[in-house]
Amino acid sequence: MDEGEIVTPYMKPLELFKNKELVTICAPMVRYSKLAFRSLVRKYGCDLCFTPMIISDCFIQSIRARHSDFTTCKEDRPLVVQFAASKGEDWAQATKLVAPYCDGVDLNCGCPQRWAMAEGYGACLIHKPHLVADMIHQTRNTVTDPDFTVSIKIRLHKDYKHTVDFARQMEAAGASFITVHGRTQDQRGDPVCLEAIADIKSALQIPVVANGDVRSMDDAHRIHHVTGVDGVMAARGMLENPAMYAGYKTTPQECVKDWVNIALKTGTHFTCFHHHLIYMLEKSLSRGERKYFNILGSTSGVLTYLTEKYKMEFSRSFYINLISRECNIIGWQTVIRIVIIIWQNMIKILIIILIIICTVVIKIHHISPSCFRNSAIGDNIHKDEKYELTQE
Ligand SMILES: Cc1cc2nc3c(=O)[nH]c(=O)nc-3n(C[C@H](O)[C@H](O)[C@H](O)COP(=O)(O)O)c2cc1C
């Protein structure tokens, strides 16, 4: 997307929090919450999307990292770009680069993975309130637009009263909103602590978003009711059912079809395309079917499966695009398109060839008697000439 490209009107994050009772958010998900998936969930009632976490120092240093980690388009709004950072300068510099293409940046203060903590990223930051406050301050000062959000996503401290204090300090430092994953860094499948989220919400003036185990709109409404939060954020729930925020209990077929269309149109890598389908179809396939589907290794294999199992139909132009996309050799694409068009119109072409052959045959048939006659006459003339010659 070019800077300054015209974007159709939409509500920015703070406007959403102001105008909607409950803002529905797609979580940052490494490898998953990319442009294609964001386009899909936006079609199904998701108000705000986060990019996957991007490591800020690599992003600043390498143009290659910038191209591979961040892709967007003018329809991809409102958008928050999430960063992993351990220093204010890194987060602020990375923010400067993405600010023209998004509506806010977020700092990951919740990742519990060991590698992240060793680098000073993620959940270890909730134990460094002064550092995070300074990071927010620096980043806030890089963007002049007051509607541009600078937010953080956190986990709970073991004693969540510390999380309430931490959140208050971040609000004072200028955080625009805070997302709380209601578990500590050591908890995985444990129930989400809604009590902690409710306490954080009532201690702050800025919007608070609840995260953890939002798997349906029923969950979203229940969590909203119990905690009073301004928004809900879902990760695994979105992967299993990207249409969740539109009220669907399981992924509707239309949504699967939309994913196939969007993913192939945007050139999504097969692994990502396939993994999303594995999540989406998990509930509708039996164990045996899942085993079979999960080991499919090509786009055509997946499409054949979907067509046979769900009777899904895709348009002709879809297949033309698919084949020419898969043949990655520029130049050959045109040839392949022509071959496909010929193949699709084979009957018409055969009829035309037949008509041409018939016309030629009939013409020959009309010409041949006179030809023979002429040659006979010719013979005669020849003979007559011979005769005349001999007479002379
Ligand atoms: C595949 C996957 C990737 C994730 N990547 C990120 C990430 O990049 N940044 C982040 O803050 N959290 C990340 N998370 C954590 C989620 O955003 C979320 O906090 C967590 O999964 C709990 O929400 P859920 O119960 O809705 O899944 C990821 C989770 C999953 C399942």
The proportion of the chain whose per-residue pLDDT surpasses 70, expressed as a percent, equals 88
pLDDT band of residue 6 (cuts 50, 70, 90) is low
Q: How many helices (H) and strands (E) does the chain have?
A: 18, 9
- Cα 106 to ligand 1 centre (Å): 14
- Which segments within 96-211 are labelled E, that is strand? 104-109, 149-156, 178-184, 208-211
* pLDDT computed for residue 370 by the predictor: 43
- Cα 211 to ligand 1 centre (Å): 9
Residue among 24, 29, 183 to mutate when testing ligand 1 (max atoms within 8 A of CB): 29
pLDDT, one tens digit per residue, over 126-162 is 999 999 999 999 999 999 999 999 999 999 999 999 9
| Atom 19 of ligand 1: nearest residue by CA position | 181
Cα-Cα-Cα-Cα dihedral of 49, 207, 179, 56, to 10°? 70
Rg (Cα) of the chain, in Å, rounded?
Answer: 33
pLDDT, one tens digit per residue, over 222-250 is 999 999 999 999 999 999 999 999 999 99
**What ligand 1 atom has the least distance to the C-alpha of 110?**
11
40 pLDDT higher than 90: yes
pLDDT band of residue 389 (cuts 50, 70, 90) is very low
pLDDT, one tens digit per residue, over 295-342 is 999 998 999 999 999 888 877 767 777 776 666 545 666 777 777 788
- Cα 134 to ligand 1 centre (Å): 25
pLDDT mean over 357-379 = 58
DSSP β-bridge partners for residue 55: 84
Is the link from the previous residue into 252 a cis peptide, with omega within 30 of 0? Answer: no
* pLDDT computed for residue 371 by the predictor: 40
pLDDT band of residue 384 (cuts 50, 70, 90) is very low
* pLDDT computed for residue 377 by the predictor: 35
* pLDDT computed for residue 379 by the predictor: 37
Average pLDDT in the chain: 90
pLDDT mean over 215-219 = 98
Q: Identify the weakest region by mean pLDDT among 105-109, 255-259, 318-322.
A: 318-322
pTM of this structure: 0.83
111 belongs to the catalytic site: yes
